[in-house]
Structure 1
Amino acid sequence: MNKLSCFKAYDIRGKLGTELDNEIAYKIGRAYGQIYQPKTVVIGCDIRLTSEDLKQATIQGLNDAGVNVLDLGMTGTEEVYFGAFHLDVQGGIEITASHNPMDYNGMKLVRENARPIGADSGLKEIQALAESEAFQTVETKGTTIPYNILPEYIDHLMTYISPSKIRPLKLVMNAGNGAAGHVVDAIEDKFKQLNIPVEFIKIHNEPNGHFPNGIPNPILIENRSSTRDAVLVHGADMGIAWDGDFDRCFLFDEKGQFIEGYYIVGLLAQAFLLKQAGEKIVHDPRLVWNTFDIVEQFKGEAIQSQSGHSFIKEKMREQNAVYGGEMSAHHYFRDFAYCDSGMIPWLLAVSVLSETQKPLSALVEEMIEKFPCSGEINFKVQDTQSTIQKIFDHFADQNPSIDRTDGVSLDFGAWRFNVRESNTEPLLRLNIESRLDQNPRPMQDYVDELTKLIQN
């Protein structure tokens, strides 16, 4: 039995050739079909050079397990999610490595109604069957037909805005040569049909699996300049940049400043609670104080969850939360079957900009001022667990309050931090925040102290 190392906590991600190839993709498709026995599933893939072949191998596995497939073609992950809850199907698979390096690929799997499949909800069973290859022979193989989900998906996105209320705006859209370009084009066309006075300035809009402008991952500082520069050159009201499968979007204000995903969680929580006080907002434990503040201010209920899409979605379903946000720029919506979307957040931001008549910078500056944060800092370390223990031991005598929802969070009253192991890469992730009204120390002091501790 060949052990498969591409199975992670909430998706499949692996190095091409060694951890993931067409043969492994076939086995995963076959295992998925045999375990869940869906009648039909939707499947799509991102723009990576290997994605189409991996998709075809997965389709073959599904068909050989007796499953019919609707092939959505080149899509972002959320188009597969949308298909999985909108169409009469019983599951979906997106072939994507999101923001991982060029030599990686992967899959995101969902069941009926786009319910996530993670390590605790079916992924281990798929792994075990794919490893054992104890596949049953079916009498009737499945069929595959192409399906264009785009028109229905765009119509759904339009339900999050009131077209007549949108004021004239200029937006920079940076698809990063990933999968987002075709959706940007379709939304632009729909806006023109509805006479919505928004001008789209599109950069790196053409899908290109060679990624001539770098892997689309705007969370990396070195990948932000093209969006920032375009905002400034064109005098835009906002910049939007996506990762490769566009399930994450990143916002830049009218000054070209990148807005940490943490504060976008507060902004979107506010947007929902203004409509309906008392709603539940799910958040991850990396940075929390601004979210607590906003949710309390607008009379909602904040609920903490472990990071990662399958964990957040399960918690939202359990609590019937209207919205869930992660500081990593994943945003989840009850009306989108609790799935994450990289298109809904910027549409909601456009609504807030229009309704408040305020620039984006003004909407977030107060949050940033009250609760400064470091942004996520990643470290490559030899042994993540022993490094976390070293940090824990270092601060033990300061008697912080401790939370182990995800990694370790230590709260000292005037400042706090979370340190956790990445679920997708061999990295240690650090996030620090402070309360400005209680804290004379600059953020960089904390960053320096923890960096020194981690690297020594």
Structure 2
Amino acid sequence: MRVADVVTAYDIRGRSPGALSPDVARALGSAFAQVVVLPEGGSGVVVGRDMRATSPALADAFVEGVRSHGVGVTLLGLCSTDALYYASGARAEPGAMVTASHNPAGDNGIKLCRSGARPVGRDSGLGEIRDLAQWILDRGALHTSPATTPGEVREVDLLDDYAAHLHSLVDLGGIRPLHVVVDSGNGMAGHTVPAVLTGDLPLRLDQLYAELDGTFPHHDANPSDPANLRDLQGAVVSAGADLGLAFDGDADRVVVVDERGAVVPASALAALIATRELARERSLGRSSARPTVVHGSIVSRSVLEVVEEMGGRLVRSPVGHSFVKAAMAEHGAVFGAEHSAHYYFRDFWYADSGLLAAMHVLAELGRQDAPLSHLLAPFARYAASGEINSSVGDTGAAVERVRRWGQERQAREVEGDGLVLLAEDPYWCVSLRSSHTEPLLRLNVEARDGETMAQVRDAVLDLVRQEA
């Protein structure tokens, strides 16, 4: 077994059963205790899991590895990833979430964090955990320095506390009545959305696929794929709803559909939330310096323009939650966003939360009478392709073909994840990068208008998918 086969740049992901087996999870739990928990003087870890068929066994094995070092474990049971981050932040303990997020049913994974939901990624301990777990597996040893007594285990239910914390950050009490359709994709939003968006709020909820089912019988819990949004789009239009919300499998990501059934670009949503967070920062008078917003390297130029117009300062981060969180903590950023519909909040321990992002949209929409499409129009300044994935045999050759194509058109190559090409007259931007979690090349194109975007998109896709 090769632990390196399931460790990515910022989490653990692989086929299960298969490369990510209980034995690997057990070794990873032991390594996590030794690399993260014990050096920080910690005595406890919070562990949650999603609804996938292999999640209980993987969680049990991981917990066994942690406990072998005398470290106690608090079991959250079924929860979303952002609820795990809440537990880690509120309890000041490291955490582990067993989930493969949006990946297909045959995959699983583990997301790790230090106390206070601080990230564990390539540059913050994940490589050490990988190497130590491999050492443990190679020697058939569960641990290197066993504790006399395994750590204690207890179960807690923090769902209500998590919901209360979200409501302390975004007040929905005074909004106008809204009709909302929610597609949970049979993922963990089916567990968390009712706890957060029901009760005395002026919200009418229509829920699609709220039953927890890790086989994903209706569609994959990946809202980045347009095919997985069709049911939500149809339900919003047929019901005359104000908007729709689609969550990924572990509910740390949200995609929004407006009242017309149109998918809201993630960058338009990011710009909207950024204006709210920057305005709130200014109203509270928290700092005399320019508040910072961290952005992934692929977000729209419109986000950058909006933040600068609001008097904010921009910091670019590599793609991936561990990198964005680390950059936010380093700069004390008030908000962070990625093109993949991950939204990060300083007041949520710099972590990402799909529900918190959705609550910002509901709060802003509920303050005025215009439809969502009208509210977001000022933030959709450029035409975007959305993320287009291609399975390519020789990714290096494909990237090089696109690089030469850009050079022939005097496009400037700029720093970013993978290949980023920028042209100014007319404006267009191409981002082409390898996925950290799947064997794919991911393409994003933005341009000043739809015609230019389509021309650039089609030309690059022809090169990417060209047979060698």
Q: Which residue pairs with 2:160 in the alignment?
A: 151
Note the residue ranges of structure 1 that are not aligned, 5 or more in a row: none
TM-score between the two structures when normalised by the length of structure 2: 0.92
User: Which of 436, 449, 456 is the aligned partner of 2:459?
Assistant: 449
Q: Is the 8 A contact 1:291 1:302 kept in 2?
A: no
Q: Which residue pairs with 2:111 in the alignment?
A: 108
Q: Which residue pairs with 1:204 in the alignment?
A: 209
CA distance in structure 1 between the partners assigned to 2:387 and 2:326 by the alignment: 24
1:295 Cα shift?
1.0
CA distance in structure 2 between the partners assigned to 1:183 and 1:101 by the alignment: 21
The CA deviation string for residues 19-78 of structure 1, in whole angstroms up to 9 with x for no partner, is 101111111011111223130010010010110111011111111121100000011111
CA distance in structure 1 between the partners assigned to 2:160 and 2:369 by the alignment: 30
Q: Mapping of 1:364-443 within 5 angstroms?
A: 364-368=376-380, 370-413=381-424, 414-436=427-449, 441-443=451-453
User: Which of 144, 156, 172 is the aligned partner of 2:181?
Assistant: 172
CA distance in structure 2 between the partners assigned to 1:5 and 1:431 by the alignment: 27
Distance 1:303 1:3, change over 3 A: closer
Residue identity in the other structure for 1:130: A
- Is 1:315 paired with 2:319? no
Q: Which residue pairs with 1:220 in the alignment?
A: 225
Q: Which residue pairs with 1:60 in the alignment?
A: 64
Q: How many residues align?
A: 447
CA distance in structure 2 between the partners assigned to 1:286 and 1:424 by the alignment: 17
The CA deviation string for residues 181-238 of structure 1, in whole angstroms up to 9 with x for no partner, is 121111244x32xxx2111111111111221112211111111111111111211111
Q: Which residue pairs with 2:287 in the alignment?
A: none
1:3 Cα shift?
4.8
Q: Is the 8 A contact 2:398 2:465 kept in 1?
A: no
1:153 Cα shift?
0.3
TM-score between the two structures when normalised by the length of structure 1: 0.95
Matched residue of 1:245: which SS? Answer: coil
Q: Which residue pairs with 2:53 in the alignment?
A: 49
CA distance in structure 2 between the partners assigned to 1:450 and 1:323 by the alignment: 32
Note the residue ranges of structure 2 that are not aligned, 5 or more in a row: 137-142, 283-289
CA distance in structure 2 between the partners assigned to 1:387 and 1:2 by the alignment: 28
- Is 1:257 paired with 2:257? no
- Superposed CA RMSD: 1.5
1:138 Cα shift?
1.3
- Is 1:13 paired with 2:25? no
Matched residue of 1:185: which SS? Answer: helix
User: Which of 330, 333, 336 is the aligned partner of 2:348?
Assistant: 336
1:79 Cα shift?
1.0
Q: Is the 8 A contact 2:3 2:24 kept in 1?
A: no
CA distance in structure 2 between the partners assigned to 1:337 and 1:358 by the alignment: 33
- Is 1:127 paired with 2:139? no
CA distance in structure 2 between the partners assigned to 1:162 and 1:380 by the alignment: 43
CA distance in structure 1 between the partners assigned to 2:377 and 2:93 by the alignment: 44
Q: Which residue pairs with 2:276 in the alignment?
A: 271
- Is 1:299 paired with 2:302? no
Residue identity in the other structure for 2:464: I
Q: Which residue pairs with 2:140 in the alignment?
A: none
1:262 Cα shift?
1.8
CA distance in structure 1 between the partners assigned to 2:46 and 2:3 by the alignment: 27
Q: What is the percent sequence identity of the aligned residues?
A: 36
CA distance in structure 2 between the partners assigned to 1:344 and 1:259 by the alignment: 17
1:155 Cα shift?
0.5
